[in-house]
Structure 1
Amino acid sequence: MTGRRPRLSLDAYEQGVRAADRTVLAQAITLVESRNESDGALAQALLTRLLPSTGGARRVGVTGVPGVGKSTFVDALGMRLLAGGHRVAVLAIDPSSTVSGGSILGDKTRMARLSLEPSAFIRPSPSGLSPGGIARRTRETMLLCEAAGFDVVIVETVGVGQGETAVADMVDFFLVLALPGAGDELQGIKKGVLELADLIAVNKADGDGELRARTALGDLRAALRYLPRKRPSWEPRTLATSGQTGAGLDDLWRIVEEHHGALHASGELTALRSEQQRSWMWSLISERLEQAFRNHPGVAAQLPRIEADVLAGRTTPTTAADDLLATFGVVRARD
Structure 2
Amino acid sequence: MPNKKPHPSALNEKPGISAPEIISAVAVGNIQHFRKIQPSAKELVEGILDGNITALSRAITLVESTNVNHLAKANEVINACLPHANKSVRIGITGVPGVGKSTFIEAFGKYLTNLGKKVAVLAVDPSSTISHGSILGDKTRMEELVKDKNAFIRPSASGETLGGVARKTRETITLCEAAGFDTIIIETVGVGQSETAVHSMVDFFLLLKISGAGDELQGIKRGIMEMADAIVINKADGDNIKRANLAKLEFNRALHLFPAKKSGWTPTTAACSAITHEGISDVWETIQKFLELTKGNNYFFEKRKEQNQYWMLETINEQLKTNFYSDPEIQKSLESTKKAVQNDEISPFAAAQKLLEKYFKN
TM-score, length-scaled by structure 1: 0.92
What residue in structure 1 maps to residue 235 of structure 2? Answer: 204
With over 3 angstroms needed to count, the CA separation of the structure-2 counterparts of 1:298 and 1:27, relative to structure 1, is: closer
> Superposition pairs for residues 1-335 of structure 1, below 5 Å?
5-161=36-192, 163-181=194-212, 183-186=214-217, 191-329=222-360
With over 3 angstroms needed to count, the CA separation of the structure-2 counterparts of 1:308 and 1:229, relative to structure 1, is: farther
Q: Deviations over 1:4-37 (max 9, x none)?
A: 8321122221111111111111111111111223
2:219, 2:225 within 8 Å by CA — same for their partners in 1? no
SS of equivalent to 1:298 = helix
What residue in structure 2 maps to residue 333 of structure 1? Answer: none
With over 3 angstroms needed to count, the CA separation of the structure-2 counterparts of 1:320 and 1:37, relative to structure 1, is: closer
Q: How many residues align?
A: 331
Amino acid at match of 1:88: V
1:54, 1:147 within 8 Å by CA — same for their partners in 2? yes
> For 1:10 and 1:316, how far apart are their aligned partners in 2?
47
Unpaired stretches in structure 1, ≥5 consecutive residues: 331-335
1:183, 1:219 within 8 Å by CA — same for their partners in 2? no
Percentage identity across aligned positions?
Answer: 46
> For 2:334 and 2:260, how far apart are their aligned partners in 1?
44
> Once structures 1 and 2 are overlaid, which stretch shifts more, 98-107 or 116-125?
98-107
> Once structures 1 and 2 are overlaid, which stretch shifts more, 317-326 or 280-289?
317-326
Deviation at 1:232, TM superposition (A): 3.7
1:65, 1:189 within 8 Å by CA — same for their partners in 2? no
1:177, 1:202 within 8 Å by CA — same for their partners in 2? yes
With over 3 angstroms needed to count, the CA separation of the structure-2 counterparts of 1:121 and 1:186, relative to structure 1, is: farther
With over 3 angstroms needed to count, the CA separation of the structure-2 counterparts of 1:70 and 1:195, relative to structure 1, is: same
Amino acid at match of 1:161: G
> Once structures 1 and 2 are overlaid, which stretch shifts more, 113-122 or 158-167?
158-167
SS of equivalent to 1:191 = coil
Q: Deviations over 1:261-302 (max 9, x none)?
A: 221112111111111111111111111112222233333333
TM-score, length-scaled by structure 2: 0.85
SS of equivalent to 2:238 = coil
Deviation at 1:183, TM superposition (A): 4.0
2:219, 2:251 within 8 Å by CA — same for their partners in 1? no
RMSD: 2.3
> For 1:294 and 1:25, how far apart are their aligned partners in 2?
30
> For 1:186 and 1:125, how far apart are their aligned partners in 2?
33
> Once structures 1 and 2 are overlaid, which stretch shifts more, 78-87 or 216-225?
216-225
2:219, 2:254 within 8 Å by CA — same for their partners in 1? no
1:63, 1:160 within 8 Å by CA — same for their partners in 2? no
Amino acid at match of 2:149: P
Deviation at 1:58, TM superposition (A): 0.6
Amino acid at match of 2:157: P
Q: Deviations over 1:105-154 (max 9, x none)?
A: 11111111111010110111111222111112111111111111110000
> For 1:303 and 1:38, how far apart are their aligned partners in 2?
24
> For 2:155 and 2:220, how far apart are their aligned partners in 1?
24
SS of equivalent to 1:91 = strand
Amino acid at match of 1:65: V
Deviation at 1:309, TM superposition (A): 3.5
